[in-house]
Amino acid sequence: GPKVLQIPSHQIIDMGQMVTLNCDPVSNHLYFYWYKQILGQQMEFLVNFYNGKVMEKSKLFKDQFSVERPDGSYFTLKIQPTALEDSAVYFCASSLIGGNGAETLYFGSGTRLTVL
Amino acid sequence: SQLAEENPWALSVHEGESVTVNCSYKTSITALQWYRQKSGEGPAQLILIRSNEREKRNGRLRATLDTSSQSSSLSITATRCEDTAVYFCAPQTGFASALTFGSGTKVIVLP
């Protein structure tokens, strides 16, 4: 089936540094999403993005977070500066515009971010 | 409070047996999706059932939807060890709206 690729699979950085998580979505998809999952907890929505703009964001999407798709290929999540509580697995997803408000999201395997 | 909740929290079955996971949700929906997340992987969609459907099948999987009681179930027949995963329901409330997940049901299939 369609694949979403996330690079890198693991990243370790020091608190206060900037980190960029990269996502290569399914090629013809138009909607993009980031979710955050702390180990052992449920997956929580951060943000979705369409046509160069943030459509919705949750309260977890702090001011230090930003998203973009600068060259029409990778969809990125940037955290600047990072905090200890940002340690989690971040999942990217993409979807094609669907009808009747029902869309299938395709998820990547996640990037495990560890902030020291 | 969570938009959707799966129950039970966890269960185990032996290979070949059937298993059912239940979901209750708290909003009007356009569709409800079931996802499975295996250890170390991202979620993968199993079934999408629209609000005007009552039942949907996909191989060994069967989902039901009751919009009057705001509940859904996912049944897996002839389970296999590789069905071991966390199963989530995700109600969808509108076009391109954010999909929210519950805490999931951990299903363990024993040999």
Counting Cα atoms < 13 Å in the Cβ hemisphere of A23 gives 30
Contact pairs from chain A to chain B, CB under 8 Å: 68
Lowest mean pLDDT among A29-43, A87-101, B24-38, B63-77: A87-101
Residue B61 sits in which domain range?
Answer: 4-110
Burial of B41 (0-12, 13-18, 19+ CB in 10 A): middle
Domain contains A112: no
CA distance B10 to B104: 8
CA distance A25 to B43: 15
Tokens (6 digits) for A44: 């929580």
A106 in a structural domain? no
Q: Is B67's Cβ below 8 Å from some Cβ in A?
A: no
The chain A residue lying nearest B103, using CA atoms, is A42
Assess if residue A32 is contained within a domain. Answer: yes
Closest-CA residue of chain A to B94? A101
pLDDT (mean) for B12-32: 94
Q: Which two tokens stand for residue A7?
A: 């690079």
To the nearest whole angstrom, how far is the Cα of A86 from the nearest Cα of chain B?
18
Rounded Cα distance, A93 and B6, in Å: 22
Domain carrying residue A42: 5-101
Q: How far apart are CA B92 and CA B104, in angstroms?
A: 16
CB contact under 8 A, B30 and A110: no
Higher pLDDT, A47 or B27: A47
- Distance between first and last Cα of chain B: 37
The distance of B73 to chain A (nearest Cα, Å) reads 18
Count structural domains, chain A: 1
Block residue for tokens 């071991």: B84
Q: Domain for residue A46, yes or no?
A: yes
The CATH number assigned to the domain holding B25 equals 2.60.40.10
Residue B41: closest CA among chain A residues belongs to which residue?
A109
Residue A102 is predicted with a pLDDT of 65
Amino acid at A91: F
A25 and B CB contact within 8 Å: no
Whether A111 maps to a domain, the answer reads: no
Cβ of B96 within 8 Å of Cβ of A41? The answer is: no
Contact A116, A15 (CB under 8 A): yes
Facing A42 at nearest CB: one of B40, B50, B102:
B102
Residue B1 β-bridge partners: none
* Count of domains observed in chain B: 1
Please state, in angstroms and rounded to a whole number, the distance separating the CA atoms of residues A64 and A62: 5
> CATH number, domain at A62?
2.60.40.10
Task: Note the pLDDT tens digit of each residue in B41-86.
Answer: 999 999 999 999 999 999 999 999 999 999 999 999 999 999 999 9
What is the distance in angstroms between the Cα of A83 and the nearest Cα belonging to chain B? 23
A39: pLDDT confidence band, cut at 50, 70 and 90? Answer: confident
Tokens standing for residue A53: 């703009």
On chain B, the residues whose CB falls within 8 A of the CB of A58 are: 98
